[in-house]
């Protein structure tokens, strides 16, 4: 199976707020240490999870739910614990210590979902899915960050070596190791030739690579970066899912020909700094490889 971050989305994995947040008491215990901007409201968060899943289903996406398990509030951001490659899922080794138990949950879940496990990132490597993005089915961009180190990238490169070029993207320090900052904090694919970017924190060398590869870049304004303006999920080419708000980013997306769908995500997205790409792990997209050559 070939991978993409923009082809028509067919199946995703999510974790419901009730299974990540567990109880209001669990939220009260954890949110400050996890550097959330505020304590999520449990009941509203559960409603937001349901509404987001319903919207995805209306857009033609099958939503699979990962099982429970008290793994912390951050476990709602299911993209980070694994990477789905052309030959199966690679289970990550999380760079954030509070999330170290999450990948093991997918070792149990994926076989039941028909997802082959290609391998596991092992110490001293660290890798988080938010740092991994498909430019096309043969090119994988991986951010080297506080969450993803050189050893983790090397192991991922070995898992995909036969078919995929891996581009390492050194990310800026920004707010330090405790902050949520991945490659996909500053770039989101929209179509095969279109990207949403926040250029002030996007490494210049990688920005030039995108332009050299023929990508048109839609720029997120300064005032909408920290409100998740740059974190959008491509449901299909030029069809994007975004957290509600960020009106100027939406205007720029629509001016570039992107159809934008929004969801209310104050409790499940804004407070934990995780947008729709973070809340979903792509399992299947519809990939058109074009006519076979004889």
Q: How confident is the model at residue 293 (pLDDT cuts 50, 70, 90)?
A: very low
Quick check: is 156 in a domain?
yes
Q: Which of 194, 280, 291, 282 is nearest to 237 (CA)?
A: 194
Quick check: is 184 in a domain?
no
Q: Tell me which DSSP letter residue 36 carries.
A: -
Quick check: is 108 in a domain?
yes
Per the listing, tokens 């490169």 go with: 157
pLDDT at 234 over 80: yes
Quick check: is 170 in a domain?
yes
Which domain range does residue 40 map to? 9-179+264-285
Beta strands 88-91 and 117-120, pairing class: parallel
Q: Please, what sign has the CA dihedral across residues 267, 269, 271, 272?
A: positive
* Three-class SS state of 216: strand
pTM across the whole model: 0.95
> Which CATH number belongs to the domain containing residue 86 in this structure?
3.75.10.10
Quick check: is 139 in a domain?
yes
Quick check: is 147 in a domain?
yes
pLDDT at 56 over 80: yes
Instruction: Convert the pLDDT of each residue in 255-290 to its tens digit.
Output: 999 999 999 999 999 999 999 999 999 999 997 654
Number of domains making up the chain? 1
Quick check: is 116 in a domain?
yes
**Residue 186 to residues 99, 136, 171, Cα–Cα distance (Å):** 22, 18, 10
Tell me the two tokens of residue 92.
Answer: 């990550």
Instruction: Convert the pLDDT of each residue in 17-52 to its tens digit.
Output: 999 999 999 999 999 999 999 999 999 999 999 999
Tell me the two tokens of residue 156.
Answer: 């991922």
Q: Are 78 and 14 in contact (CB under 8 A)?
A: yes
Q: Which of 289, 286, 270 is nearest to 36 (CA)?
A: 270
Quick check: is 250 in a domain?
no
């Amino acid at each position: 199976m070939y991978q993409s971050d923009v082809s028509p989305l067919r199946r995703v994995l999510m974790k419901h707020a009730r299974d990540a947040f567990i109880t209001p008491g669990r939220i009260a215990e954890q949110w400050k240490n996890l550097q959330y901007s505020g304590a999520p409201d449990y009941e509203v968060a559960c409603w937001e999870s349901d509404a987001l899943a319903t919207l995805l289903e209306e857009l033609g996406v099958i939503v699979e739910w990962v099982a429970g398990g008290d793994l912390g509030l951050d476990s709602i951001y299911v993209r980070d614990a694994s990477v789905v490659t052309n030959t199966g899922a690679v289970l990550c080794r999380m760079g954030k210590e509070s999330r170290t138990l999450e990948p093991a949950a997918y070792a149990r879940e994926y076989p039941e979902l028909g997802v082959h496990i290609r391998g596991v990132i092992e110490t001293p490597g660290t890798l988080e899915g938010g740092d991994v993005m498909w430019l096309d089915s043969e090119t994988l961009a991986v951010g080297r960050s506080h969450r993803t180190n050189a050893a983790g990238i090397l192991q991922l490169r070995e898992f995909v070596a036969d078919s995929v070029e891996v581009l390492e993207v050194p990310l800026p320090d920004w707010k330090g190791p405790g902050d949520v900052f991945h490659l996909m904090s500053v770039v989101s694919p929209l179509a095969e030739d279109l990207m949403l970017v926040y250029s002030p924190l996007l490494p210049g060398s990688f920005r030039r690579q995108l332009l050299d590869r023929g990508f048109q870049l839609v720029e997120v304004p300064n005032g909408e970066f920290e409100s998740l303006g740059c974190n959008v999920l491509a449901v299909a080419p030029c069809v994007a899912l975004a957290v509600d708000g960020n009106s100027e980013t939406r205007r720029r997306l629509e001016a570039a020909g992107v159809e934008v769908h929004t969801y209310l995500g104050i409790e499940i997205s804004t407070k934990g700094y995780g947008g729709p790409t973070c809340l979903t792990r792509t399992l299947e997209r519809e990939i058109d490889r074009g006519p076979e050559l004889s």
